[in-house]
Amino acid sequence: MTHLAVERNVAASTQNQAFNAILFMFRHVLDKDIEDIGDAVRAKKKRRLPVVLTKSEINRLFDKMEGTNLLMAKTIYGCGLRLRECMNLRIKDIDFSRMAVTVRGKGDKDRETVLPGSIKDTLRNHIESVRKIYDKDRENGLAGVQLSGALERKLPNAGKEWAWFWVFPSHKISVDPRTNILRRHHIYAGNLQRQIKKAGIRAGIPKRITVHALRHSFATHLLEKGHDIRTIQDLLGHADLRTTMI
């Protein structure tokens, strides 16, 4: 632990991961108490302000993107989503009549956020094209999409229903490594991350642009418009207001 902090100069989160791994090994593998680990030198937690794009930079970024990647980026920015939350969106989560999106957030906590009017028609057209993928899967007798463990047991056939289908499905089917079931998953996260990074470079934006920067920008632009911080906290799904304030 000390070596990681002093010699390797790792981030606090990296050292914490090692700390938890050692703790797990002693408690659950070796079945013995661990002593004197508190004497180790701890890595200092660095404070970094989140990257935020201006509205002009957001538009320049989006101008360099296209297709599904562009729609996902606009959805993340317009709804204030995490990347994982965007990928996990189901058809039933989009409510066009109420202009609302239900989000399955961190810690298995649901929340509701806004659906921006600027992407309403594009998203509706996208979902119509996704329906063709869904219909093809049903014709081919493919297994339903993955549900959370409890739902999979409680509603074994729900994965084959249109309501539970992915909003952003992968164009390829693959084997689930945990169950060995051949099924369709959502789009791979790394693809959008690469496309946003490339778009930022092409747009000439001198900032470290990540998918999460879109979420930061959503919150900051709402604050600049005069919306109160508690409302923004709810839309982002933060448990602690201090996280929102940063």
pLDDT tens for residues 93-126?
999 999 999 998 776 788 999 999 999 999 999 9
Asked if residue 66 has pLDDT above 90, the reply is: yes
For residue 191, give both structure tokens. 């693809």
For residue 232, give both structure tokens. 């923004």
For residue 98, give both structure tokens. 């109420």
Distance CA 89, CA 84 (A): 9
| Fold (topology level) of 55-245 | hpI Integrase; Chain A (1.10.443)
CATH 1.10.443.10 residue ranges of the chain are: 55-245
Contact 127, 133 (CB under 8 A): no
Asked if residue 140 has pLDDT above 80, the reply is: yes
156: which residues sit within 8 A by CB, 6+ positions away?
none
**Is the entire prediction scored with pTM above 0.85?**
no
| Section 41-56 average pLDDT | 82
User: Average model confidence (pLDDT) for the chain?
Assistant: 90
Res 107: pLDDT: 66
